[in-house]
Amino acid sequence: MKNIQLLNKIAKVGTDVLDKNEYNIGSGVESPDAIMVRSAAMHDMEFGANLCAIARCGAGVNNIPVDRCSEDGIVVFNTPGANANGVKELAIAAILLAARDIKGGIEWAQGLKGTEGVAKAVEAGKSAFAGTEIAGKTLGVIGLGAIGGMVANAAVHLGMNVVGCDPYLTVEAAWNISRSVKKAATFDEVFAEADYVTLHVPATPQTKNMINAESLAIMKDGVKLINLSRADLVNAADVKAAIATGKVSSYVTDFPTEDTVGEKGIVTIPHLGASTAESEDNCAVMAAHQLDDFLKNGNIKNSVNYPNVSLAHVPGCTRVGVFHKNIPAIIAKISGAFAEQGINIENFITSSKGDNAYTLIETAAAVSDEIAVKIAEVESVVRVNVI
């Protein structure tokens, strides 16, 4: 029986995917073979020798020490697209919050409690909160993946002109984007055209502070910014300076920080992007299916540190998953290790992702712990899982 530890409350519809006769699941589980997590910080956690997979019920993995996991041959899964609709809907709300001072108007109206003639006061004061309509305006979408693509399509249906850029756009994602979305070659092209800019890219060293004084200078005067991705994408000091000069008319973010809460021109939402019952269920179900397929079959789908690898299972065969560095001649060395033990490889598949690679092997022979150790001794092999 495999042990799966839950670091956060995971939707029951997700854990129900996992057969209780095959998995011991719970927050108090010790020596886990796998972990399911949402937002719990894992950077300071010590990982036991049994841990071979971490499933993040969501897209971002900044709470997980991915590099350390790669060094130990631990697969880190995420659930791209599972919460996309929830974030898309909040993005549309954020665009409207940026277009019109709805938040300021509501707060002002709430303050009228106890005032005589509220209706008359509303008519006299509402002009202070007037805004503009979004139809006919240009929305710039940075990142056209699962969420960004849905936001772009929704904005088209709302009558906006949409221009987007994604250097890493997949063919599958491209098929789902409306023909009405203009594809820009660079982020700067998007910045120059857009009345609204919405960010839908992961937080990486390359994207950190991508919205800064330099990028803001390219944008139109009075541009409106929406950030439902990560706080680190935006240099808050530069945005506040741009708000003071009128370069930025409003900034809506789903990541409140000490630098943004209570600031004029900034609307801070308390990280509600994927906080819907539907999103949490979808993420938990997807994460559970991915863990189940990996633990039972060695297949990998939606890993952030290892490649997608899937091999049809031949009944009666033993599977061996080999995590290794992506270097020349490594496959020959691994297959040679099998040959030295007199084991014939019936079927295999291998793929790489950056410096990390994974080879899934099937053999009709039994693979003992001793043989697994011999394979692990091959130079640049990180981990061997016998399934």
282 and 326: one domain? Answer: no
pLDDT digits (tens, 9 = 90+) for 234-244: 999 999 999 99
**At 360, which CATH number?**
3.30.70.260
247 and 340: one domain? Answer: no
What is the pLDDT of the chain when averaged over all its residues? Answer: 95
92 and 220: one domain? Answer: yes
Within-domain flag for 299: yes
Distance CA 255, CA 170 (A): 27
Q: Which structural domain, as residue segments, surrounds residue 375?
A: 306-387
Contact present, 50 and 323 (Cβ < 8 Å):
no
243 and 331: one domain? Answer: no
Give the residue among 363, 354, 362, 357 at the shortest CA–CA distance from 378: 357
pTM of the model: 0.80
167 and 240: one domain? Answer: yes
- Indicate if the pLDDT at residue 248 is higher than 90: yes
Final residue in a domain of this structure, among 233, 264, 295? 264
157 and 239: one domain? Answer: yes
pLDDT (0 to 100) of residue 40:
94
pLDDT digits (tens, 9 = 90+) for 107-138: 999 999 999 999 999 999 999 999 999 999 99
Contact present, 4 and 25 (Cβ < 8 Å):
yes
Within-domain flag for 374: yes
Element (DSSP H or E) covering residue 140: strand 138-142
- Indicate if the pLDDT at residue 340 is higher than 90: no
Domain count, the chain: 3
Final residue in a domain of this structure, among 305, 328, 357? 305
Final residue in a domain of this structure, among 235, 264, 293? 264
286 and 381: one domain? Answer: no
**At 183, which CATH number?**
3.40.50.720
141 and 209: one domain? Answer: yes
Within-domain flag for 148: yes
Give the residue among 321, 269, 328, 264 at the shortest CA–CA distance from 296: 321
Within-domain flag for 102: no
Which two structure tokens, joined as six digits, stand for 228?
């439902």
284 and 340: one domain? Answer: no
Distance CA 232, CA 272 (A): 17
Within-domain flag for 108: no
Distance CA 196, CA 143 (A): 14
Where is pLDDT greater, at 81 or 196? 196
230 and 244: one domain? Answer: yes
Question: What is each CA distance from 167 to 78, 138, 154, 185, in whole angstroms?
Answer: 21, 20, 21, 8
Q: How confident is the model at residue 272 (pLDDT cuts 50, 70, 90)?
A: very high
- Indicate if the pLDDT at residue 313 is higher than 90: no
214-225: average pLDDT: 98
Within-domain flag for 111: no
pLDDT digits (tens, 9 = 90+) for 279-303: 999 999 999 999 999 999 999 999 9
pLDDT digits (tens, 9 = 90+) for 140-175: 999 999 999 999 999 999 999 999 999 999 888 899
List phi, psi (to 5°) of 52.
-125, -5
Distance CA 234, CA 225 (A): 10
Distance CA 285, CA 36 (A): 11
36 and 92: one domain? Answer: no
Within-domain flag for 172: yes
pLDDT (0 to 100) of residue 203:
85
Q: How confident is the model at residue 318 (pLDDT cuts 50, 70, 90)?
A: very high
290 and 313: one domain? Answer: no
